[in-house]
Each structure stands twice: as structure tokens, then as C-alpha cells.
Amino acid sequence: MKKPIDTLIEEIATECGGTVSVAVRNIENAGDIFVNDSKVMSSASIIKVPMLLEALRQARDGTLNLDQEVELTDAHRVRGSGVLRYLHTGIRLTIADLLWLMIVVSDNSATNIVMDVISIDNVNSLLRSLGYTQTALQRKMYDWDAIEKGLDNVCTAGEIADLLVRIARKEAVGRKWDDMALDMLSHQQETSRLGLLLPSQAKLANKTGSREGIYHDCGIVAGPGFRYSIAVLTSEARSPGDAHLAIAHISRAVYDHFAAQGSS
């Protein structure tokens, strides 16, 4: 007898070790899955998704010009993912350029510049207006003073999966702007977690998050005749490889589950 999908996910999570949180939400001809999905966890770069939406909301409302240019200074450079910290001082980039870098290569320097422009408080106001009470932006990337004070960026798998549904249905910021967000997510360079084991016909638009002991991925997955959002958050797995493989196996199990529903 075939195992229920939540049981299969829980078995993969146990093998991974640590904490695993999974949320799947229906977009079209799929379904919802809840496995520890209300657990508040450090978001790592997953928090860049609501940041993107707030920037697009400001552009929609006319308070932010995506063609506005920012000049890169040495003070903008921070560690971690991305390419901007390797580029020469004085290069000028538009806000749109910075958003693409923030999402597609998870550029931390670009992220911090965007945060200065749109403000932390505005990102949290957007989240609260959409009904999300657990996801919060509280500090910049690699802000050691904030980290020492115990401030962290946090989210739940459930709220992130729900937010992705809003993007897919054009209900987050609005059709043109949600399409722009989806386009950026669909050009994500890191697809080897949720996308690793998906069949070639699957389409993925996603955003990963990583820091020591924390490996996440969230995205919108489309198969033949069905579509869903998924967020898989992991913390303190046995190893980074175990976390990556757990995300990949959970992703494939969910995909196969909905594909089988459609063919039955």
C-alpha cells in the first residue's frame, strides 16, 4: 500500500536529521500539505522574496523608480553570496539591476543596498498587511552588531508557501508586478535543491536560503496540468548534503504525488 505523502515526507525529514519544515499549497489542480509548517525558523535568503515584493509595491505606487541608479561604494560590500562585492567601486546599477542580483544570484551586497532604499519597516508592513505575523525582516545581511543583539530574519514555511501562491495568482502586488517577481524567480541560478530530482518537464521558479546549519528552498512548481508552491526549511541537518538531498527528495515526492492524482 502506498504511503500517505505526509508520512513519506516525515520519513525523509527523520533521515535528514535536525528540524525540517514543509509547506505545500495548491495553485491549480494540486493540494495542500502541512508538515511542521508553522515552525518559526531563521530565514536566511528566503527573506529576499518579501523584500522583492515590497520594492515592486513601491514601484507600483510611484514612490520608487526602478531605473534609479545607485553607485557602488566600498561600504556596500559584504560577505557571502553574490558578485557585486567583486566589482569595481563606482559602478552604477539601477534598482532593477539590484533586484535581479538579489534574487538570481542571492547577492548580499545588492540586498543591503535595496534594504536601505525600501526600508526594513516597509517590508514588515507589507508582510503584516498580507496577514503574515511570523515572517519578519530584522537586520541586514552580515550585520554582526544586530546578530550579537539576537536579531535575525525569520519565517515559516507556511507563510512563505502562501506568499508564493499570491505571486502565482497575481494577488501579492498586482498582475504586472507579480509577473515581474515570477520572472526573476524563474531565472534563479541555484536550482539543485527543489529542482535536483524533478523531471525535465517540470518548471520551477524558486529562491534558496543558506547559512551555517541552515539550508532552505522555496518555489512554484508546475507540472502537466497542475501547479503548487512549496517551501522546505531545514536546520541542523546531519550535513549540508543531507539537507540538500532531503529537500530534493521531498520535492520529487510531492511532485509525484500530484502527478499521480492527475493520472488517476
The CATH number of the domain holding residue 24 is 3.40.710.10
Q: pLDDT confidence of 81, banded at 50, 70, 90? A: confident
Residue type for 197, please? L
Residue 119 has pLDDT above 80, yes or no: yes
* Placement of cell 530584522 in the chain: 138
List pLDDT tens digits, range 178-232: 999 999 999 999 999 999 999 999 999 999 999 999 999 999 999 999 999 999 9
List pLDDT tens digits, range 234-249: 999 999 999 999 999 9
DSSP strand pairing (19-28 vs 33-35): antiparallel
Q: Mean pLDDT over all residues of the chain?
A: 95
Residue 161 has pLDDT above 90, yes or no: yes
Task: Using alpha carbons, list the distances in angstroms from residue 92 to 80, 159, 178, 231, 235.
Answer: 21, 35, 26, 34, 37
Report the number of distinct structural domains present in the chain.
1
- In this predicted structure, what is the pLDDT of residue 143? 85
List pLDDT tens digits, range 83-112: 888 899 999 999 999 999 999 999 999 999
- In this predicted structure, what is the pLDDT of residue 1? 64
The b/e string for 65-98 (b: 16+ C-beta within 10 A; e otherwise) is: eeeeebebeeebbbebbbebbeeeeeeebebbbb
Residue 49 sits in which domain range? Answer: 5-263
pTM of the full predicted structure? 0.96
